[in-house]
Structure 1
Amino acid sequence: MLRWLIVLVAALAAALVAALSGVTAGYAAPPHVSDQDKAFLIGAHQDNLAEIQGGQLAERQAGKQSVRDAGKKFVEDHTSLDEQLKRVAEKLSVDLPSRPSEEQQAELRRFAAKGGTEFDRAWIDAQVKDHRDTLNFLDKEISTGSSPDVKNLAHDAKPVVREHLNLVESIQSGE
């Protein structure tokens, strides 16, 4: 009789666990995202916004056709990268800012005040530095990030950023 009671209690406990897990499954909490992954999503989004705006400036204000073409490519590529990033951020319930950082906005204002050769030199020099920094930012996320979705974003963005760096370095060296 005691054995039968133990079996019955165990069966009821198992049924209760199954029922509760079914009830709570529809109310799943958003996935946990580490502070590093959040910072990456926010920083990469702001970088994309700055690259898009800077590329638009290059299309309008550059003196050389190669710089205007690079600006157009940056607008297209960073718009695409940012669409992917926004989907991941939404999936992970990470709120993104609506504009570049204050520092990036100040840099964009400096570019906007220039034109022709002066713009070309300033913008290309900044792009070389920014894309080198971005490659380091991507490498850090790839090696130490927590979220597979965020790490995949960084991994997928790396060849695009490398291509942009190669492009601006070739323009900088006069090739």
Structure 2
Amino acid sequence: MRLSRSRGVLAGCAAVALCALAACAQYTPTPRSGDLGAVPPTVTIEPVGSPAAPGVAAADTGTQETRWGPLSETDRDLIKKVRLAGLWEMPMAQDAVQRASRGKVREVSRKIAAQHHALDEQVRDLAAKLDVKLPVKPTDEQQGWMSDISGRSGSAYDVTYVKWLRLAHGKIFTLIGTVRGTTQNTLVRRFSEQANAAVLNHQRLLESTGLTTPESFPAPPA
């Protein structure tokens, strides 16, 4: 009797042990936060192009064939420079909405910031389709303009802000015209028209502030 009872106890223990082993075999440890491979929420990944689209060769020199027509170095230059414009003009316009002393400058800046946001979305989309690597920070010259504006206050802030933004918009006009007249890429041609309309509108907005004095104009070419 005792032997039979002992055998029953041993059999029960063995069954419990087998169930525990089976549960352990199916258990997957919860990964630690460091193993997830997720980007911390404070880190922003800046899109600077995409994998090459069909028919697009990833290169920054020479003319490349794309499904929308040849993409020249000048075409890529325009895409990058429009992106560069947005990298400094958009945050400065947003800053002017808060800091400008004149109501007209704040009103104009609000419109410029919104339009630059839309133009930046267009240039990102275009760069992704054509596999153009976009810059992720303003040039040294543009950072100098930003510092000059930010270091002023009151009326001096308004005048300096309008001067540098208007000068920057004027600098890109020549490139836009060149690309519009020479590009064989249908996407770039349409974008050059959109960029031209935006730049011209921003020039008019800045001039409507009444702060574009002769001193704020660049010297005419010889």
> TM-score, with normalisation over the residues of structure 1?
0.77
Structure 1 residue 107 displacement after superposition: 0.9
Match of 1:88 in 2: 126
Match of 1:21 in 2: none
Structure 1 residue 173 displacement after superposition: 5.2
CA 1:173–1:122 in 2, change beyond 3 Å: closer, same or farther?
A: closer
Match of 2:215 in 1: none
Structure 1 residue 135 displacement after superposition: 2.4
Match of 2:75 in 1: 37
Cα pair 2:71 2:183 within 8 Å, conserved:
no
Could you say which structure has the higher helix fraction?
1
Moved over 3 A (4+): none
Supply the distance in 1 between the matched residues of 2:182 and 2:94 (Cα, whole angstroms): 33
Supply the distance in 2 between the matched residues of 1:125 and 1:88 (Cα, whole angstroms): 30
Supply the distance in 1 between the matched residues of 2:115 and 2:54 (Cα, whole angstroms): 34
Supply the distance in 1 between the matched residues of 2:105 and 2:196 (Cα, whole angstroms): 21
Structure 1 residue 120 displacement after superposition: 0.5
Higher relative contact order (CA 8 A, sep 6+): 1
CA 1:118–1:157 in 2, change beyond 3 Å: closer, same or farther?
A: same
- Specify every segment of 5 or more residues in structure 1 that has no aligned partner in the other structure, as ranges: 1-26
- Aligned residues with identical type, % of pairs: 24
Supply the distance in 1 between the matched residues of 2:204 and 2:128 (Cα, whole angstroms): 32
Structure 1 residue 172 displacement after superposition: 2.6
Supply the distance in 1 between the matched residues of 2:201 and 2:178 (Cα, whole angstroms): 19
> Which of the residues 153, 158, 173 maps onto 1:135?
173
Supply the distance in 2 between the matched residues of 1:63 and 1:173 (Cα, whole angstroms): 12
Letter in 1 for 2:140: E
Cα pair 1:45 1:96 within 8 Å, conserved:
yes
The yes-or-no answer on 1:101 pairing with 2:139 is: yes
Cα pair 2:159 2:211 within 8 Å, conserved:
no
- Specify every segment of 5 or more residues in structure 2 that has no aligned partner in the other structure, as ranges: 1-52, 57-65, 213-222
The yes-or-no answer on 1:171 pairing with 2:209 is: yes
CA RMSD of aligned residues (A): 1.8
CA 1:55–1:39 in 2, change beyond 3 Å: closer, same or farther?
A: same
**Cα deviations across residues 83-130 of structure 1 (Å, max 9, x unaligned)?**
011101100011101122121112111111111101111111222222
> TM-score, with normalisation over the residues of structure 2?
0.62
Q: Tell me the number of residue pairs that the alignment of Structure 1 and Structure 2 aligns.
A: 148
Deviates most, 86-95 or 66-75: 66-75
Deviates most, 46-55 or 123-132: 123-132
Structure 1 residue 29 displacement after superposition: 3.6
Cα pair 2:89 2:113 within 8 Å, conserved:
yes
Deviates most, 76-85 or 136-145: 136-145
Match of 1:126 in 2: 164
